[in-house]
Structure 1
Amino acid sequence: MQHNPRFLALVEAIRSRVQETDVHQIKRWQDEGRTFHLIDVREESEWAKGHLPGAEYLGRGVIERDIETRYPDASTELYLYCGGGFRSILATDNLQKMGYTRVVSVDGGFRGWSDAGYPVES
């Protein structure tokens, strides 16, 4: 997908403020049986077409509104992913501003996961 320049500039300006991991680390942790919350912040239509195993849906449009209901403890370990890793950076930054201290964006997102040949749930 070709993103617009201002959107990319916004993401790049925020990137240094958030922690990132990648899809390969998420897969290793899943294979090891590590417990963590993996949150898909894409649109509902994207989620319906497929998502990472064990992921929970909390779309970018409502995550700031609903995060405290779902995860009231601001120290909960949260890993956010989107289609490629840009929207998840924006969501991660907002959750940090809301006081969440262990929130990480997953670089590569759903496309990186799929391109690596990892399993997808639908």
Structure 2
Amino acid sequence: MAYTEKFQAMSDAARARVDEVAPEDVDALIAGGAIALDIRDPDEHAKTHIPGSLNISRGKLEMNVEGIITDLDATILCYCNAYNRGALSAASLRDMGYANAKFIGGGLNAWKKLHEED
């Protein structure tokens, strides 16, 4: 998908200021208590998602997250299909005080690729 120059610049800036988690590390982080946060729209989440993940769409993230994830120290692994929305969401969460908000590099697509043989 082709993105506008300004959107891509915002996404790139977000990626530069939050930590990226490798897809191969996601399962172990979740097993250790990290929260997988699918920030795609509910219809996208309904089709496929990382098992056990929470779903708060990007458009409602800042309005709803505090009522769902109350621990500001929780490790939160934001993801979308690839990078951009996940990185933007992690950056927003960091701005809200969630110190361990990160994003999954390559998003759901990269995570699914690792699990194709499962």
TM more than 0.5: yes
Greater share of helix residues, 1 or 2?
2
Verify the 8 A CA contact 1:85 1:108 in the aligned structure 2: yes
Cα-Cα RMSD: 1.9
Partner of 2:3: 3
Q: How many aligned positions are there?
A: 118
CA contact (8 A) 2:39 2:86 kept: yes
- Structure 1 residues 118 and 80: alpha-carbon distance in aligned structure 2, compared to 1, 3 A threshold: farther
Runs of 5+ unmatched residues, structure 1: none
Range that drifts further, 95-104 or 1-10: 1-10
Percent of residue pairs identical: 27
TM (norm. structure 1) is 0.85
Aligned pair in 2 of structure 1 residues 29, 101: CA closer, same or farther (>3 Å)? closer
Q: What is the correspondence of 1:43-122 to structure 2 with a 5 Å cutoff?
A: 43-118=41-116
**One-letter amino acid of the structure 1 residue matched with residue 92 of structure 2:** N
**Partner secondary structure for residue 61 of structure 1:** helix
| 8 Å CA contact retained: 1:52, 1:119 | no
Runs of 5+ in structure 2 lacking a partner? none
Letter of the structure 2 residue corresponding to residue 39 of structure 1: L
Q: TM-score when scaled to structure 2?
A: 0.88
Q: For residue 63 of structure 2, what is the amino acid of its counterpart?
A: R
Give me the whole-angstrom Cα distance separating, in 2, the residues matched to 1:96 and 1:116: 28
Mapped to 2, the partners of 1:49 and 1:62 lie a distance apart of 19
Is 1:40 aligned to residue 38 of structure 2?
yes
**Are 2:94 and 2:101, in contact at CA under 8 Å, matched by a contact in 1?**
yes
Amino acid at match of 1:37: I
The secondary structure found in structure 2 opposite 1:80 is strand
The C-alpha deviation readout for 1:37-96, integer Å capped at 9, x for no partner, is 111000111101110112111111111111111122211221111110110111111111
Whole-angstrom distance in 2 between the partners of 1:65 and 1:75: 19
